[in-house]
Chain A
Amino acid sequence: MLKFIAKRVLWMIPSLVVISFMAFVLIQLPPGDYVTTYIATLAASNEVVDQNTAADLRARFGLDQPMIVQYWKWITGILLRGDFGLSFEWQQPVGDLIWERMALTLVLTFATLLATWGLALPIGIFSAVRKYSIGDYIATFFSFLGLAIPSFLLALVLMYLAAVEWGQEVGGLFSEQYLNAPWSLAKVWDLIGHLWIPVIILAVSGTASLIRVMRANMLDELNKAYVTTARAKGLSEFRLLMKYPVRLALNPFISTIAWLLPNLVSGSIIVAIVLSLPTAGPLLLQSLMSQDMYLAGAFILLICTLTLIGSLISDILLALVDPRIRLE
């Protein structure tokens, strides 16, 4: 087991090298660079920038050098000094920008995850055990409804309701007075007060699909012979459900952890923009649009690292919960 983990971690290093290079190339692929975008933005407000200024800017940002040199500078900076470079657009170190947002993203995603699993798993189990009952039909109806409604639409509707009907301020994760205030109990309480709208919106579609998956998994397991055996032992229906089929039906979910982590960064961008949440998604989108390459590169690197770590975690967890799986 330990050998397996060590081997996997070692393999992550060459993977990351390749990924970082490809990420860098991908960001460079669209025509133009940050300066082109910058000039275009200025031109939109009738400011004309001459070629010399543009060249100056390029030289200052190091954009005039060959790509391989730029990549080398970037990657050695990360590896040797933990320096992810400077964001052109924000004129701030990329590291500071990302970490600030990641913390809040983590809080939001974790809350959403709790809500999704907490709701979906029991409903899915119920819906499978009482297949074709009224309760199952209601659950099925709402889960298809949840799947069908685009989350940004739900965001708009909820915002309208919250703002107009209940008079609550919406958007963002903090009230104005706490925005730049240091952390305190009151600020945490304020965060919780703001958190529920995005959590509901993000949880709806996730819950809906998870109910269906859990229901299908459970239906597969419920007809298995070991369930009958457990029943023939005299276990109560609830205990045998929890101990045998639910345990096995949960296994596939462990594999999903692999893509849960990268979703931290890239998931739910549209909802985050609609609700103007200070999470990582909108920042990633913005950095890609303006070709703010060090910021975008850092995000992509982060997503890939999280994917690798996520799959390692789910492999280890799977081996822990399912004795049939042997890691070697």
Chain B
Amino acid sequence: MTVVDLSSRRADAAAAPPRAVLEVRDLVTHFPTRTGVVKAVDGVSFTVERGKTLCVVGESGSGKSVTARSILQIVDQPGRIVSGSMLLHRPDGSAVDLATLHPRGREIRAVRGAEIAMIFQEPMSSLSPVHTVGDQIMEVLLLHLRLSKKEARARTVELLRQVEIPHPDKAVDRYTFEFSGGMRQRVMIAMALACNPAMLIADEPTTALDVTTQAEILDLIKRLQQQHGMAVMFITHDMGVVAEIADEVLVMYHGKVMEAGPVDQIFHAPQNDYTKMLIGSVLKLEQKAEIRLKRAPLAEDAPSVIEIDNLKMHFGSPAAPIRAVDDVSLQVKAGETLGIVGESGSGKTTMGRCLLRIYQPTGGAMRYRKADGTVVDLVTADKETLKLCRREIRMIFQDPVGSLNPRMTVAQIIGEPLLVNGIAKGSELDDRVSVLMDQVGLNPDWRERYPHAFSGGQRQRIGIARAISLNPRVIVADEATSALDVSLRSQMLDLMMRLQDELKLSYVFISHDIGVIRYMCDRVSVMYQGRVVETGSTDQVCDAPQHAYTQALLSAIPRPDPRLRSMHKRHRYIA
């Protein structure tokens, strides 16, 4: 048994380093379906160089993920590579065209994981739940480097140490569900780096993570890239991340390359119309919305619609409760948008659900002032009162796919609140649904269609139409734009603000995205571990945060400008 010297490959590389690791020319990948061929990747060319980062950006359906998977020939069924070449340059000067290899053959398998490794978006589902972390990492070492079990284990511990997993010698024997999202992504990275690959493909590796965790993972990838001289192909839809880490950028749309070039050129001198639009809609979310800038500021003494006092929501046993919402006090004024920002687990969603009393709060008061001036405490309200109040406080959900019943037509979905509350039926209902659809910018002729016939943005409009159908006074929007592409996001927010002015609505706008908050909200509350750490006007919180946590949070957000790279200046908040 010979032990492979892990550093030998790099030594060779130093002798004669071929700059390009992978050259892709005119790659075409098709998905034959019953209704015709979907050209997911349609003539894409690019080069990935040693030690450099190529960012592939595009909105959903642009084919960026399929491009990445085509390189390793792991495209999902029934996709297949139709034409093109993908030259992988080896350190010894030889090259192999990956496109000509059989997808199940020995040669491509020798490339996967050893020369080109890949990490994925969902670190939870991308790792097997029933195998230990160590087992899954060691597998690569046993397969490609033919190490003995003992050596593989030692190297696995070393890899886990490199990706900064605490107590790596114990972590080796643990399961993925015992780790947090960020830790799982570190495990994925350790697995990808196991054989010192020449190239790392990262497919949206930070999309499912909080900004502070994202910053740490990006940092880690950067550092490991410098140590190992890897080429990195980074797929993302987040222009902030692109600006922060990219050397070169490839902009994709509908399977085609719209524009490619150095990161500075893409952001500051884009040539292509689509790129301009993309950068434009990202920059738009960097400041306050135009219609909010034009509007006269809300009166300081505007009456509050909802006053929340010392709200508590505890889960689990009363002896050792999990304080999801811990002593929160807030006011929502008439006609204003209150943003609630925080990372996952901060309690912002629980807070929103308490407002509609989907959860029964453990303590505190939520005083809701009705249109006639009477005040109801939502925490203690009886069933009848609650029902009436719920007509006036509505909700918009994050997932535009999951929150619409696929077996109901759009007319049924939008009209349901009117129908169940006995407000309208028959042709009157039909008329009101048409008016509502018109209000949110949907063609009323489409009302007999089912949700699957609509795009993500249109589905979210359906959700909004349903929310405003009962003439509500308050709308709780929980991550209402998170599932949408960036170009749709500002459109959706503009629509919501137009409706706010027309219908005199108050919004409670829950989001993890500071850009969206800044664009739309009048005031912001920052939540951390169930508590509100800071509340203030949007400008004050975003530009001059007072609380150390808010400062840390803001410092971790990558700015969509490669000239303002700030990730290295970020700091952590330790409570």
Chain A positions within 8 Å of B, measured between CB atoms, are: 223-226, 228-237, 243-244, 247-248, 321-324
Contacts and interface: CB of A to CB of B under 8 A. Distances in A.
A246 to B, nearest CB: 11
Given A225-B122, A234-B109, A234-B114, 12 more contacts: A226-B125, A226-B129, A228-B69, A231-B74, A232-B112, A232-B113, A234-B111, A234-B144, A237-B104, A243-B131, A248-B130, A323-B175
Contacts of B110: 234
B118 A232 contact: yes
A225 B126 contact: yes
A234 B112 contact: yes
B140 A244 contact: no
Contact of A225 (B114, B125, B177): B125
Contacts of A324: 129-130, 175, 177
Interface residues of B, number: 31
27 contacts: A225-B120, A225-B126, A226-B125, A226-B126, A228-B76, A229-B118, A229-B120, A229-B127, A229-B191, A230-B128, A231-B74, A231-B112, A232-B112, A232-B118, A233-B140, A234-B109, A234-B112, A234-B113, A234-B143, A235-B139, A244-B128, A244-B131, A248-B128, A323-B129, A323-B130, A323-B175, A324-B177
Contacts of B129: 226, 248, 323-324
Nearest to B121: A225
A244 B111 CA distance: 21
Residue among B72, B110, B132 with the highest chain A CB neighbour number at 10 A: B72
Per CB-CB distance, the 10 closest pairs between chain A and chain B, nearest first, are A234-B112, A234-B113, A233-B113, A225-B125, A225-B126, A232-B118, A234-B109, A226-B128, A229-B126, A231-B74
B188 to A, nearest CB: 8
B117 interface: yes
Nearest to B132: A323
Nearest to A227: B128
A328 to B, nearest CB: 14
B562 to A, nearest CB: 30
A237 B105 CA distance: 10
- Majority SS at the chain A contact face: helix
B126 A228 contact: yes
Contacts of A224: 125
A236 B128 CA distance: 17
Contacts of B111: 234
Nearest to A231: B74
Interface string B531-551: 000000000000000000000
Interface in B94-149: 104, 109-114, 117-118, 120, 122, 125-132, 139-140, 143-144
Contacts of A321: 130
Contacts of A234: 109-114, 140, 143-144
A228 B191 CA distance: 14
Nearest to B128: A226
B106 to A, nearest CB: 8
A59 B573 CA distance: 86
Contacts of B74: 228, 231-232
A236 to B, nearest CB: 6
Nearest to B106: A236
Contacts of B125: 224-226
Contacts of B69: 228
Interface in B60-76: 69, 72, 74, 76
A229 B69 CA distance: 11
B112 A233 contact: yes
Contact of A247 (B113, B118, B130, B143): B130
A114 to B, nearest CB: 25
Kindly name the residue among A226, A321, A322, A323 whose own CB sees the greatest number of chain B CB atoms within 10 A: A226
A119 B530 CA distance: 54
Interface string B66-97: 00010010101000000000000000000000
Contacts of A236: 104, 109
Contacts of B131: 243-244
A236 B125 CA distance: 20
A243 B138 CA distance: 14
A224 B76 CA distance: 11
A323 B130 CA distance: 6
A228 B128 contact: no
A324 B177 CA distance: 8
A230 B139 CA distance: 9
A229 B139 CA distance: 12
Contacts of B188: 229
**Residue among A230, A232, A323 with the most chain B CB within 10 A?**
A232
Contacts of A323: 129-130, 132, 175
Nearest to A244: B128
A230 B104 CA distance: 13
Contacts of A228: 69, 74, 76, 120, 126
A129 to B, nearest CB: 10
B268 to A, nearest CB: 35
Contact of A226 (B117, B127, B177): B127
Contact of A322 (B72, B112, B130, B191): B130
Contacts of A243: 131, 139
A238 to B, nearest CB: 10
B139 A233 contact: yes
Contacts of A229: 118, 120, 126-127, 188, 191
Interface centre among A225, A230, A233, A244 (most CB of B within 10 A): A233
A228 to B, nearest CB: 6
Contacts of B139: 233, 235, 243
Contacts of B117: 232-233
Nearest to B174: A323
A266 to B, nearest CB: 33
Nearest to B124: A225
A236 B112 CA distance: 11
A232 B76 CA distance: 12
Contacts of B132: 323
B114 to A, nearest CB: 6
Contacts of B109: 234-236
Nearest to A238: B104
Contacts of B177: 324
Contacts of B72: 231-232
Contacts of A322: 130
A229 B128 CA distance: 9
Contacts of A232: 72, 74, 112-113, 117-118
A134 to B, nearest CB: 16
Contacts of B144: 234
A241 to B, nearest CB: 12
A236 B103 CA distance: 10
